[in-house]
Amino acid sequence: SKKPLWQVEYCYSFNRKQEKPAKLIVCGYRDRVKEGLGKVGAEYWGIDLREENYLEFIDKDKLVYLTGDSEVELDDVTPDNVYIVGGLVDHNRIKFGTYNKAKGEGIRHGRLPINQNVTLRSTHILTVNHTFEILVKKLSGDDWKSALQSTIPVRKKDEGIRKREKKQQKEGENQGQEEAHKEESQEGQEQQEKQEEVNGDKKEIEEEKA
């Protein structure tokens, strides 16, 4: 698959344009990815290329595994930590895959604070390149809202907005039906009271005639 290579190229291209670029490490790759990186001359890009696993050369206390399944929400992005974007191929995602990997390796984990900053569809899974871009922007001084909203594709936000509007419309229709039912019940009660009043008047007239 060319997707991992494309994502590495995108991250490198975005990072090199920043005033405060992050240190980009690509590790644990094999076979075709290794061959692809060699063909595009990635060794000259100024990124850290390593075939070994991150646990072999990075202090575990500095690692933070990013996973959408984590119950921990990131407060900030700091240069003291090394953030792992789990896996370069993000389609056919395995539920809790990265979360379980982080737990099994005894690594801290966290997720981006998406819910309170951007309206998305039900899934909050972002691509590797988008996640990297958000981290770099936050590291450069952007707040979470700005970093997330300027990075996440419009289509994902639009889908979330459409879903929210549909929900609001449905809630509005239900509320309208409840109010209409309430008005009908009130009108029926008023008519019943008027009818009882008329019947009472008729009874009084009949009694007077008798």
Residue 110, helix vs strand vs coil? strand
Upper half-sphere CA count for residue 207 (Cβ side, 13 Å): 6
Distance between CA atoms of residues 23 and 139, nearest Å:
11
> β-strand 108-110 against 63-66: which pairing, if any?
parallel
The residue from 90, 142, 158, 201 that is catalytic is 90
Q: What are phi and psi of 48, to 5 degrees?
A: -85, 105
Neighbouring residues of 150: CB distance < 8 A, sequence distance ≥ 6: 137, 142
Would residue 90 show up in a list of annotated catalytic residues for this protein? yes
- In 3D, which of 8, 36, 38 has the Cα closest to residue 24? 8
Known catalytic residues are 90
